[in-house]
Amino acid sequence: MRPQCTDKFVGAILAGWRYDISGIAPEMRGDYEQHFRECEHCRYWRKLHRTIDVALIILTAISAGVFLLAFGVIHHFEPRHAVLLELAALAGFALSALIWVIVAVATPAPLVMADAARLGARAVHDRLPPEIRQRIPEELRLKISGQ
């Protein structure tokens, strides 16, 4: 049995926002971040929503790549009615690219992926020998640390 939300009022607000607090002012995030730390139910749903968002971006990117590959194959082999097939492949690519843009704009998935990349870079940076770490420009070190 899945645990219930610890604060139904805050949980309802977060559910209405699809568990995304990236669009609100940083000074207003404190209570919501605290709720995420305390509430296993909302953490689960936020993770599920972000997984779906990232999966949609990946699927639309793969779809666009497959349509582009189909266009290249059709162009290379030049079967009968090649122009119609090429137009269909380009239309599929355009539709996939449009859906990719819509998903990237409408969801916080790019922010989630950027945060994951930053955490990975921080982990690598922390394992570097000190003499190499000191050679990294200060502005890049600040970006990696999230300051």
Per-residue pLDDT of the chain (147 residues; tens, 9 = 90+): 678 999 988 889 888 888 888 778 878 888 888 999 999 999 999 999 989 998 999 999 999 999 999 999 999 999 988 999 999 999 999 999 999 999 988 888 887 788 778 888 888 888 989 898 888 888 888 887 766
**26 in a domain, yes or no?**
no
So what's the pLDDT on residue 60?
A: 96
Q: Extract the tokens encoding 40.
A: 């296993």
So what's the pLDDT on residue 147?
A: 61
Single out the residue of 143, 138, 54 nearest to residue 100, CA to CA.
54
**114 in a domain, yes or no?**
yes
Rounded Cα distance, 104 and 88, in Å? 24
Sorted by sequence, the CB contacts under 8 Å of residue 53 that are 6+ apart come out as 103, 107, 108, 109, 112
So what's the pLDDT on residue 42?
A: 92
Is this structure's pTM higher than 0.95? Answer: no
Query: What Cα–Cα distance (Å) separates residue 6 from each residue in 10, 17, 21, 37?
Result: 9, 17, 18, 11
So what's the pLDDT on residue 117?
A: 84
**77 in a domain, yes or no?**
no
**135 in a domain, yes or no?**
yes
Helix axes 82-106, 40-77, angle to 10 degrees: 160
CA angle (103 as vertex; 102, 104 as ends), nearest 5: 90
**41 in a domain, yes or no?**
no
**122 in a domain, yes or no?**
yes
Rounded Cα distance, 142 and 56, in Å? 31
Cα 99 to chain centroid distance, Å, stands at: 14
Rounded Cα distance, 3 and 39, in Å? 9
So what's the pLDDT on residue 140?
A: 85
**140 in a domain, yes or no?**
yes
State how many domains the chain has: 1
So what's the pLDDT on residue 108?
A: 86
**19 in a domain, yes or no?**
no
Sorted by sequence, the CB contacts under 8 Å of residue 15 that are 6+ apart come out as 45
> Which structural domain, as residue segments, surrounds residue 132?
108-147
